[in-house]
Amino acid sequence: MRVLLQFPEGLKQYVLKRAKELEDEGNEVFISASPTFGACDLAVDEARNIKADKLIHFGHNEFNKVDFDVEFVPVEVDAPLGILENSLDKLSGFGRISVVTTVQHLHQLESIREFYRKNGFEVVVGKPFGFAKVAGQILGCDVGSAARVDRDVDAHVYFGGGRFHPLGAVINTTKPFLMIEPFEGVIQFIDYYRDVHKKRSKGKILAALGAKSIGIMVSTKNGQSNMALGRILKKRVEAHGINAEILISNTFDFESMNNMMEFDAFVNTACPRIAIDDVDRTMKPILSANELSEMLKIREGLAQK
């Protein structure tokens, strides 16, 4: 069988080992060298180009259905749970907490729940909105496991590597949010990021108020493509007398976007985290669809005065 292997950045260190294992089983193996941002970003075009029989995607659960044979291989990572003991003082005074994590630590979720139960907490595990597949799991674009239960808990606890996932969850919740990063030994509340995000969002909206031309970003990635929304936003922008064009890319290169100097602002319809995490990588503001709506509303109000 001819297979194409795809690994996210954190797992690319294992590509050779896994390729050799599959070759020893009699497979013809190719490795995708492109960056991937998750199961929303499958190397299907590459697999078709080399006439692969299957794409094997490591590190994530299935995100959405695609017209190709894809095998998803989640990778379990055992994080040290001893750090949980050090979180008890910070959670003092909270009775009911929610616990969320990433796909790599879902197999440890029950142990985390049991730890907090034994220490007197009522533990709630929410369900994702749909892109994530398992209760308690969060993605950069699906924080439902926290957001759905926000009104029912006193605080949220994230356990896992990195800050990418918890920062996405904190801006979609209102309760105290404790991040436990077991690999760096960090335990801290990250509620402050809500204000940071609000100020950045307001700044982007104000910076785009005088825009005479806007580029609408539409991705071709399997789980990020939203041409329907792109067309709707284009018409909405043009209805306000602003020039608008749809920009197509598989992976948006921000240096290339900076060369499009005729555009005064961009609107993102691809991965929602682009308009949150990558705002400092372009010279012009990148708005979310909601931020665009707010900008147009303000603009309309100013025109009526």
- Closest to 157 (Cα-Cα) out of 176, 131, 130: 176
Average pLDDT, integer, range 278-285: 92
C-alpha–C-alpha distance, residues 205 and 289, integer Å: 11
- What was the pLDDT predicted at 302? 81
Residue 116 predicted with pLDDT over 90: yes
- What was the pLDDT predicted at 4? 98
Average pLDDT, integer, range 70-82: 94
Average pLDDT, integer, range 75-94: 96
pLDDT band at 22 (very low <50, low <70, confident <90, very high): very high
Residue 305 predicted with pLDDT over 80: no
Residue 46 predicted with pLDDT over 90: yes
Specify the higher pLDDT residue, 87 or 13. 87
With a pLDDT cut of 70, the percent of the chain lying above it is 100
- Which neighbouring-strand residues pair with 186? 181
pLDDT band at 96 (very low <50, low <70, confident <90, very high): very high
Residue 268 predicted with pLDDT over 90: yes
With a pLDDT cut of 90, the percent of the chain lying above it is 91
Superfamily of domain 198-303: Diphthamide synthesis DPH1/DPH2 domain 3 (3.40.50.11860)
Average pLDDT over all residues of the chain: 95
C-alpha–C-alpha distance, residues 297 and 30, integer Å: 50
In the numeric block, the tokens 């990063």 are attached to: 181
- Closest to 68 (Cα-Cα) out of 220, 219, 222: 222
- What was the pLDDT predicted at 10? 83
Number of H helices, E strands in the chain: 10, 13
- Which DSSP state fits 7? -
pLDDT tens-digit map of 219-259: 999 999 999 999 999 999 999 999 999 999 999 999 999 99
- Please state the domain extents for the chain: 2-73, 81-190, 198-303
- What was the pLDDT predicted at 304? 78
In the numeric block, the tokens 């006193």 are attached to: 154
Fold of 81-190: Rossmann fold (3.40.50)
Class of domain 2-73: alpha beta
Q: How far is CA 97 from the centre of its chain?
A: 23
pTM for this entry: 0.91
The amino acid at residue 254 is F
Question: Around 124, how many Cα atoms within 13 Å sit in the side-chain half-sphere?
Answer: 21
Provide Rg for the chain, Cα atoms: 22
Phi/psi of residue 181, nearest 5 degrees: -105, 95
Average pLDDT, integer, range 160-164: 92
Structure tokens, 31: 């490795």
C-alpha–C-alpha distance, residues 238 and 232, integer Å: 10
C-alpha angle 39-41-47 in degrees, rounded to nearest 5:
100
Domain 81-190 matches domain 198-303 at the CATH topology level: yes
- Which neighbouring-strand residues pair with 124? 98
